[in-house]
Chain A
Amino acid sequence: MIEIFSLFLTLGCLLIFSNLPFNFYLLKKYSILNVTYSESMLINIVVNCNLLLILSFFLINLNFIFFMYLVGMLLIFFHFIKDYIKLIKKNFFLNIFFIVIFYSISLIIIKNAYLDWDGLGHWIYKASVYYHGGEYKDLVGLPFDYYPHLGSYIWAFFWKNSLIQNEYLGRLFFIFIFLVAIFSLNSRFSEKFSDFEKFFFIFVIIYLSTNFFLFGGYQEYFLFFIFFCFSNFFVKFFLGKNINSSNYFPELLILFTTNTIMWIKQEGFFYFIILNILFLIHAKRDLFKKFIFSLSALIMLFCFIYIKNIYFDSLRFNDDVVNAETFKNLQFEYLFTKIIIITKYFIITFFKYPIWLIILISLLFLGLSPNFFDKYKFVLSYLFLTFTFVFLIFLNTTEEVSWLAPLTLNRIVFALSGFLIFICVDFLNKIKK
């Protein structure tokens, strides 16, 4: 019983984490941004990930950090208590529905409790260092120590700040951010949908995107969440009609979002570049602002490389960017065979994660209507850049492609789907018209 009780306490901690520092009511009061409640949660999670990223380089007690959050939340909660009660009453069914799904998915993780391959192979070591009070330099020498550490740090943060301090409670963070992302789509549905229809479609999206294996210590849901946030913020703040270009907060938000992705997994380094290219090509901003943005992004990239150089001597990847395989690919027949194998596993992945099939069908359907791709050109750029990147990874790997692709390609492709989930809702809205 204590385990179930601590599950709910951890949910409380996660809610605190997603309500600060840019609390919905503070954003509303000071007119910083016009966002919905769930969008404010996305913003807070991204900002807090960056905050924790900075703190992860210093020796700071995880309980103390959480204590500061708790104090802040209590102050805000009691200040806006009437608004909170009103909000809970207004969205009563939605809140219960969220809790029900969170509880159900979490319970599967708690029941199984064990970690899967990569989770046990290397991510847990990083989480364990932070859980036992270590700091960034203590990661040196661990298995795959050069892998980014942010996911493990946050895992340790919620593991440490839980009632019974079982490892799996830290992993509930990944379930939480996944659900917050999908539930935030609720406000994207057209008003023609009833609450129950919305619940149904939200549940379908969750059901089709859930892979319990990836909650076994993997970082893919974190990547999924960041991709989701990027497209959400980008559409909201940089493609809309009423863009307030004198407000720099959206740019900061995009920078925070892309910065987070770099510190989650190795491929995040390339995703960082891809997402920033997308921003520079498609954001409705003048050249000067884009120049400042590029400069800031470059500083972040430099910091990343600098820190990796200090602790791990260089920025390392599993394979060298240019290796023997790169030159082998110059043989057309060899290259062609590999492309066929990769494409095959791409197609298998689309069936393994049916959410991809729905995304592709939605894209095809919406693409038929005029003007869709005028507004959403960035979707095509995203598909082109990310799919090219995935192909290049597998073409360039020194491992046997037919062995590596079935193991890893589906995870990579799944994480990328976070960016395009909103297309499914747009598709449903279009049908409902």
Chain B
Amino acid sequence: MLTKNFKNILFVIIIILVFSIYDTFTNTYVVIRENLETRMIKNAGDCRAQGYGFHKKIIKKYYLNDKNIISINFKDFPSPEGYFFNYQNSTLKNSFILIGANQDKIQKYLDDDYKIIYSEKDCYFIQK
């Protein structure tokens, strides 16, 4: 009986150890407290990193749920386009979302007759 109890206690200790190694208690708390949207913006960036939040904002603001928008990330991150891609949607013509575009980059597009529709810091939604 004692051995069995000892085994059970040891097992519980092992589980707690595993949880603490993987930070499971904190992660559980974070997942319960913050919704997916908040976590995505925190980790994949709003107008930084992958630019997930900015891309999402443009889709929402201009009612573009039925369109794929080409997104170019000038930082060392992939473009957020994949998160919103739907093969059934058509691609919005002559429009780009630019993430992390500096003045030189945006100027090139402006010289090419593109207009800034919306911008936040170094993120732009441009259209011809």
Contact = CB atoms under 8 A, between A and B. Distances in A.
A381 interface: no
B22 A120 contact: no
Nearest to A142: B87
Most buried by A among B7, B31, B80: B31
Interface in B4-38: 7, 10-11, 14-15, 18-19, 21-24, 27-28, 30-32, 36
Given A115-B83, A120-B78, A4 B31 contact: yes
A128 B86 contact: yes
A147 to B, nearest CB: 14
A108 B14 contact: no
Most buried by A among B23, B79, B85, B88: B85
Interface string A181-204: 000000000000000100110010
A210 to B, nearest CB: 9
A4 B24 CA distance: 12
Interface size class of B (residues with CB under 8 A): 20 to 34
Nearest to B8: A93
B78 A121 contact: yes
B126 to A, nearest CB: 21
Nearest to B19: A104
Nearest to A107: B27
Nearest to B52: A114
A108 B27 contact: yes
A93 B14 CA distance: 11
Main secondary structure on A side of the interface with B? helix
Interface stretch (B39-47, B56-64, B95-103, B107-115): B39-47
Interface stretch (A25-33, A94-102, A338-346, A425-433): A94-102
Most buried by B among A110, A115, A120, A138: A120
Contact of A115 (B7, B18, B19, B82): B82
A113 B43 contact: yes
B40 A113 contact: yes
Interface residues of A, number: 40
Interface in A117-156: 117, 120-122, 124-125, 128-129, 132-134, 138, 142
Contacts of A196: 7, 10-11, 14
A254 B21 CA distance: 37
A96 B28 CA distance: 18
B10 A100 contact: no
Contact of A111 (B18, B27, B80): B27
A423 interface: no
B117 to A, nearest CB: 24
A207 interface: yes
A134 B88 CA distance: 8
Contacts of A110: 27, 31
Main secondary structure on B side of the interface with A? helix
B88 A113 contact: no
A113 B39 contact: yes
A124 B83 contact: yes
A116 B83 CA distance: 11
A380 to B, nearest CB: 35
Nearest to A7: B31
Contact of B21 (A113, A132, A166, A207): A207
B85 A112 contact: no
Interface in A75-108: 93, 96-97, 100-101, 103-105, 107-108
A117 B49 CA distance: 11
A101 B18 contact: yes
B12 to A, nearest CB: 10
Contacts of A134: 87-88
Given A114-B44, A132-B86, A108 B39 contact: no
Contacts of B21: 104, 207
A3 interface: yes
16 contacts: A101-B22, A111-B31, A111-B39, A113-B36, A113-B44, A114-B50, A120-B79, A121-B79, A121-B82, A128-B82, A132-B86, A132-B87, A132-B88, A134-B88, A142-B87, A167-B83
Given A101-B22, A113-B40, 10 more contacts: A96-B15, A97-B18, A104-B19, A107-B24, A113-B39, A114-B40, A114-B43, A132-B88, A138-B87, A196-B7
Top 4 A-B pairs, shortest CB-CB distance = A104-B22, A114-B44, A124-B82, A120-B78
Interface of B: 7, 10-11, 14-15, 18-19, 21-24, 27-28, 30-32, 36, 39-40, 43-44, 50, 52, 78-80, 82-83, 85-88
